[in-house]
Chains A and B, each alone.
Chain A
Amino acid sequence: MTSSSTPRVVVTGIGVAAPNGLGREEYWKALLAGENGIAELTRFDASRYASKLAGQIQDFEAKDHLPSRLLPQTDVSTRYALAAADWALADAGLGPDSPLTDYDLGVATSTAQGGFDFTHREFHKLWSQGPEFVSVYESFAWFYAVNTGQISIRNGMRGPSAAIVTEQAGGLDAVGHARRTVRAGTRAVLTGGVDSALDPWGYASQLAGGLVSTATDPEAAYLPFDTRAGGHVPGEGGAILITEDADSARERGAAHVYGEITGYAATFDPAPGSGRPPGLRRAIELALDDARLAPDGIDVVFADGAGRPDADRAEAEALAAVFGERGVPVTVPKSLTGRLAAGGGAADLASALLALRDQVVPHTAHTTSVPEAYGLDLVVDRPREAALRSALVVARGRHGFNSAVVVTAPTTA
């Protein structure tokens, strides 16, 4: 229910930590070059598992990015989140000397898995050694609010803050909440999602969902919308974005305005067996309404791309229902990173903003044959240059979460 007086909310900073690139430009170059972040899992001996691949972040030395006192108290996912937050804040020019301080700045992040590697180690200590061996940091290194809390503390951000959990839709729902918070009067809110659960117990637990591919070829294990689709590959990482009141960004002369968050909506699927229609189409339509755009106002869709025939078909049907058959270019660049849980939607949103900046759609690597019946114009083989003004980003979380965000290129004044 926007009105003309509703503040506009723009993105002024981006930080990405992804399996195929650390940092905004490294990630973006990797997407356009088709560099694959999926490889054989090397964190532990996975020989007992039916699946053996993961999208792992390589070459991240935590001590190069964080003060040493934070290392014993942080899970690997929190280290990625803190680093990505540093990059996003620096990108936005919101360092220690910025005019925005204290209650001007909030944090709204999502994680679906919390500090799982860390907590697995503490479970192991508790049950193999005893309670007195459990870390003094376990009480907060594990829980789902940890990234929001640590980012707030590290950067002196005291405004309204939150942590949202909606499985793989969480990255977009955090952004929706950040926009809501900025509209309510907080000048800038750091948002996004980051996840990692690639320790033995975390990886096993991801397999328990029954949705992970057992293919062994890293180029052919996660094939969104492909006739050969047989599951996804779990990955780690995500993206942090700075959302900011457009007037604030202009007043302080923000270096970048990547785009405006013009639309957001979330819906939930009906209970299994109810016979009612799924909620994805409704989420997309509500987000378009929110952005006051007709379907032909969307120039590219960053799809969820579950990589399973049933879920891919359902998403293709929703897209065709809204945009018409082959009505809009669709892409799933996360075929190069694996699915990053709450990090996935946030990374896709970063990709969409960079696509608006560079007027190019990154392709869906590895997918080669899309069923005709899907009616999709899927961007495959190589990036596609196009005139892009608005992009739709879609994310779905297990059990029925549907989220959609519309971003629009900044108007050149």
Chain B
Amino acid sequence: MTRRVVITGIGVRAPGGSGTKEFWSLLSEGRTATREISFFDASPFRSRVAGEVDFDPAAEGLTPQQIRRMDRATQFAVACTREALADSGLERDRLDPYRTAVTLGSAVASATSLENEYLVMSDSGKDWLVDPSHLSPYMFDYLSPGVMPAEVAWEAGAEGPVSMVSDGCTSGLDAVGHAVSLIREGSADVVLAGATDTPVTPIVVACFDAIKATTPRNDDAAHASRPFDSSRNGFVLAEGSAMFVLEEYEAAKARGARIYAEVGGYATRCNAYHMTGLKKDGREMAEAIRAALNEARLDPTAVDYVNAHGSGTKQNDRHETAAFKRSLGSHAYDVPVSSIKSMVGHSLGAIGSVEIAASLLAIEHGVVPPTANLHNPDPECDLDYVPLTAREQRVDTVLTVGSGFGGFQSAMVLHRPEVAA
């Protein structure tokens, strides 16, 4: 008998508000939270808009020592972990440490701290040999980010398997998929799973400038992320985090937990094509979707809502649209598809988890979040992308997908437990 896995707690830190409640208000009202970069002087850069999070670590209850040692991305993850645990009603002292695991996704890990320390050690970039007399004791942890899942484990009291899953922009889906495996195979009963990334820092902005992956729409920052719109011209870099409490279904039921959804299926494939490029046919993403539906034992027509990757690059939007048609058949034209990146931007490795949070809340509230800023769809993107306004409808089953550098294509099926019963 396969162990079933459900999600019973959510914590979110995303642009436009802190906490799950504010996150959902933003999405369900179709508001956008992208803005001109305020964290540093972005004037030398091509893309100067971002989804920044107004995050105050002291107000989050982190101690001065935690604030000193943790990278910003780690602070986000710990704050989300606390929210998710509280939301689940699982007290830390009721968890069996040996049966509690952590899987944390992140694409660029401690990028913010790396850059801060680099500027000190290199004297603002002058010294290739860097000055060891200005070496922070935390620099090892910024180089080698095992400390990030470690901090989450310490927060939750987890002593089972702990790891970071770093698959670029699918990390947030893959970390939760990994957590599902741990529970199903019996390595853990509870997993704190999710992802975090805080890449709004000069080196990362420069990375994406160099390949023109991010938007140069600097004159209209609030409407710069335009997935599926014919005027879209790149994604909006963002920060964010979401963490979840995953539990074995029977145990969650037995303690009377509120169950957001069951993770019915998850799959990932690689395109083996190009580190940043996508083929137009969507073949490997379609295969991941088919495999995830197959694992969930659901027909494509069971999908009530597709939470798209929808990054707002031309190649992604077309690749993904092709993948939906290939995997869902005619149902691709009937099911609502939307991209919350239109509102909160693209937080790289974190976004897959942020999008899982959106998917769970869509089921919870019976509302499909819209694709903001979508006025004139690309003629090659001819599905129902839920433009501008959220839609009230019953949602039992959600398909959420991700696509990332390295060729990773991932898909997850979330549904009310009754759907599979």
Q: How far is the CA of A261 from the CA of B358 in the complex (A)?
A: 39
CB atoms of A268 and B150 under 8 A apart: yes
Among the 9-residue stretches A26-34, A269-277, A328-336, A358-366, the one with 4 or more Cβ atoms under 8 Å from chain B is: A269-277
Q: How far is the CA of A116 from the CA of B284 in the complex (A)?
A: 30
A413 is an interface residue with CB less than 8 A from chain B: no
Given the complex, which residues of A lie within 8 Å of B142, measured CB to CB?
205
- Determine how close the nearest CB of chain B comes to the CB of A290; give it in whole angstroms: 10
* Interface residue count on the A side (C-beta < 8 Å): 88
Contact among B137, B150, B157, B408 for A145, CB-based, below 8 A:
B408
Q: How far is the CA of A163 from the CA of B141 in the complex (A)?
A: 18
Q: Which interface residue of B141, B143, B158, B267 has the most chain A CB atoms within 10 A? A: B143
Give chain A interface residues in 13-54, CB to chain B under 8 Å.
44-45, 48-50
Q: How far is the CA of A299 from the CA of B98 in the complex (A)?
A: 27
Q: Mark B387-421, 1 if CB is under 8 A from A, else 0.
A: 00000000000000000111110000000000000
CB atoms of B206 and A131 under 8 A apart: yes
Contact among A148, A158, A265 for B406, CB-based, below 8 A:
A148
CB atoms of B107 and A126 under 8 A apart: no
- Determine how close the nearest CB of chain A comes to the CB of B89; give it in whole angstroms: 22
CB atoms of B210 and A134 under 8 A apart: yes
CB atoms of A398 and B140 under 8 A apart: yes
Closest to A134 in B: B206
Among the 9-residue stretches B15-23, B56-64, B116-124, the one with 4 or more Cβ atoms under 8 Å from chain A is: B116-124
Q: Mark A41-70, 1 if CB is under 8 A from B, else 0.
A: 000110011100000000000000000000
Given the complex, which residues of A lie within 8 Å of B171, measured CB to CB?
145
Given the complex, which residues of A lie within 8 Å of B273, measured CB to CB?
153
- Determine how close the nearest CB of chain A comes to the CB of B93; give it in whole angstroms: 12
* Known A136-B211, A149-B406, A397-B146; contact A268-B162, beta-carbon cutoff 8 A: yes
B377 is an interface residue with CB less than 8 A from chain A: no
Closest to A195 in B: B144
* Interface residue count on the B side (C-beta < 8 Å): 87
Given the complex, which residues of B lie within 8 Å of A266, measured CB to CB?
160-163, 187
Give chain A interface residues in 387-413, CB to chain B under 8 Å.
397-401
CB atoms of B276 and A107 under 8 A apart: no
Closest to B103 in A: A164
Q: How far is the CA of A404 from the CA of B124 in the complex (A)?
A: 43
CB atoms of B129 and A48 under 8 A apart: yes
CB atoms of A158 and B165 under 8 A apart: no
Q: How far is the CA of A210 from the CA of B136 in the complex (A)?
A: 11
Give chain A interface residues in 152-177, CB to chain B under 8 Å.
152-153, 155-167, 170, 173, 177
Given the complex, which residues of A lie within 8 Å of B163, measured CB to CB?
164-166, 173, 266, 401
- Determine how close the nearest CB of chain B comes to the CB of A344; give it in whole angstroms: 12
* Known A124-B125, A134-B206, A136-B210; contact A162-B165, beta-carbon cutoff 8 A: yes
Some 15 contacts from A to B, beta carbons below 8 A apart, are A120-B118, A127-B125, A128-B125, A131-B206, A139-B207, A148-B406, A149-B270, A149-B408, A161-B269, A164-B164, A167-B146, A208-B138, A210-B137, A267-B161, A268-B158
Residues of B whose CB lies within 8 Å of any CB of A are: 44-46, 97-98, 102, 107-109, 114-115, 118-119, 121-122, 124-126, 128-133, 135-147, 149-150, 153-154, 157-168, 171, 174, 178, 181, 185-187, 202-203, 205-211, 213, 267-276, 284, 287, 404-408
A136-B211, A150-B275, A266-B162 given; name 5 further pairs at CB < 8 Å: A138-B203, A165-B146, A205-B144, A208-B143, A276-B159
